[in-house]
Amino acid sequence: MRFVAGLKCHVCGASYPPEALWVCSECLGPLEVTYDYAAIRSAISREAIESRPHSLWRYRELLPVDEPRTGFHSGFTPLVRATRLARELGVAEVYIKDDSVNHPTFSYKDRVVSVAASRAVDLGFQVFGCASTGNLAGSVAAHAARLGLPCYVFIPHDLEPSKVLGAAIYRPHVVAVEGNYDDVNRLCTQIADRYGWGFANINLRAYYAEGAKTMAFEIAEQLGWRFPDHVVSPVAGGTLLPRIVKGFREFQDLGLVDGALPKVHAAQPAGSAPVVRALEAGLEYPEPVKPNTIAKSLAIGNPADGFQVVARVRETGGQGAMVSDEEILDAVQLLAQTEGIFTEPAGGTTLAGARALVERGVIKPHESMVVCITGNGYKTAEVMYDRVTQPTQIGRGFAEFERVIGSQLGVPAGAQA
Ligand SMILES: Cc1ncc(COP(=O)(O)O)c(C=O)c1O
Ligand SMILES: [Zn+2]
């Protein structure tokens, strides 16, 4: 790893070699990858990045991997200019960062897993696994299948059926735990320790988290090497949001993008909003909550990186927004009907949060914002059944069409379009 300096404790600053370590032995703080930025500065340029294939590996100097093993088509998802949605929200420039079409498993998790899986191979893990609210399980299982690695994914017992199938299809061991995500995570920590398996979001977490920075890199590059005024990110375990901030800072420090850093805002469902509550209450560390929300992929009551989210949001001048299940589903509908993008409730949470921030005057009408849509609606289609109108039933003949539909269009009989 040419540019990796090592691992560093996020709390006390202690240094460690870049191995399969994830907590500081001094203070139990989380470990982060650090780089030799001086060396990166002379190795990287806008032109070099632009000349590379459209995947997250185009930013390889800023990722902790020598040789990517998987994820060759992950990342570099579309940044969609959302003009109809912008008009609806009353904001000048709105973009959707559309990870609902990430490869291979249609969520932002393909970014973090590409890095964690490559690292798992390099570190010699014989089994790859994770604790998941659904999307991570699918991604870990898919990448393990490609790599031929035995795989165990652990999920709460009450996930959406398509999420379970979306992991099981790759033939991992799927273990459904009677409990919520926080119980699953605790169990997996013990298993990782006892069995020596590589868990993407536990003992490989320092590397996994680095993959999330690529969302920020892509936003800046796809905007023409500039920053937006605002970014709205969902928060569950708290991996993504702080790494979006880290990614923007790295691009700024390396001289790849000039200008002020974006304000980065956190969106959570009201039924699982420990981070937003901490932001509003002026706390440094979120108080754990018991999740109860339709946005199951965001149902984490005790986020591993919650304190980092709180700190980064405040540093950028961002805010938190929590939204009801009803607002989440309204936003899923709104995104679909204005921009043709079908997201799951996690994406609905982010868009509803963005909308609330506009209504509160935090995001202003003349500004630009990027809404991070991190998951795909087809995996949770059942949440929208009640809201979608049934098809109009007609018989086979043209007369049937005219009787049921044509007659209501005010087109005179026999008129040609
Ligand atoms: C679709 C989706 N969006 C966002 C998140 C939140 O991610 P993080 O744990 O990085 O906060 C998750 C996973 O937990 C997810 O599945
Ligand atoms: Zn420490």
Residues 61-79 have pLDDT tens digits of 999 998 999 999 999 999 9
- Position 402 in a domain: no
Residues 266 and 338 placed together within one structural domain of the fold: yes
**250 Cα distance to chain centroid:** 19
- Position 309 in a domain: yes
Residues 8 and 47 placed together within one structural domain of the fold: yes
Atom of ligand 1 nearest to the CA of 133: 14
* Ligand 1 pocket test target in 106, 155, 239, 332 with most atoms within 8 Å of CB: 239
- Position 395 in a domain: no
CB 10 within 8 A of CB 31: yes
Residues 116 and 93 placed together within one structural domain of the fold: no
Amino acid at 169: I
DSSP one-letter string for 159-206: --HHHHHHHHTT--EEEEESS-HHHHHHHHHHHHHHH--EETTTTTHH
Residues 160 and 114 placed together within one structural domain of the fold: yes
Rounded-to-integer distance, Cα 299 and Cα 138, Å: 17
Question: In this prediction, what percent of the chain has a pLDDT beyond 70?
Answer: 98
Atom of ligand 1 nearest to the CA of 112: 10
- Position 228 in a domain: yes
Phi/psi at 415 (nearest 5 deg)?
-70, 145
The tens digit of pLDDT for each residue in 349-401 reads 999 999 999 999 999 999 999 999 999 999 999 999 999 988 999 999 999 99
Task: Choose one of 208, 237, 255: the last residue of a domain.
Answer: 208
Residues 126 and 224 placed together within one structural domain of the fold: no
Residues 259 and 336 placed together within one structural domain of the fold: yes
Q: Give the number of other Cβ atoms within 10 Å of residue 14's Cβ.
A: 15
Task: Choose one of 191, 208, 225: the last residue of a domain.
Answer: 208
- Position 405 in a domain: no
Residues 120 and 169 placed together within one structural domain of the fold: yes
Residues 228 and 354 placed together within one structural domain of the fold: yes
> 165 CA to middle of ligand 1, Å?
18
Q: Tell me which residue range forms the domain holding 314.
A: 79-105+212-387
- Position 404 in a domain: no
- Position 310 in a domain: yes
- Please determine, for residue 313, whether its predicted confidence score (pLDDT) is greater than 70: yes
**Which CATH number is 345's domain given?**
3.40.50.1100
Task: Choose one of 162, 178, 208: the last residue of a domain.
Answer: 208
Task: Find out whether the beta carbon of 233 lies less than 6 Å from any atom of ligand 1.
Answer: no
**Rounded mean pLDDT, 270-296:** 98
- Position 347 in a domain: yes
Strand order in the sheet with 173-177: 173-177, 151-156, 128-131, 198-199
Number of domains, the chain = 2
Task: Find out whether the beta carbon of 105 lies less than 6 Å from any atom of ligand 1.
Answer: no
Rounded-to-integer distance, Cα 84 and Cα 151, Å: 43
Rounded-to-integer distance, Cα 137 and Cα 248, Å: 28
Q: Whose CA is nearest to atom 7 of ligand 1?
A: 236
Task: Find out whether the beta carbon of 375 lies less than 6 Å from any atom of ligand 1.
Answer: yes
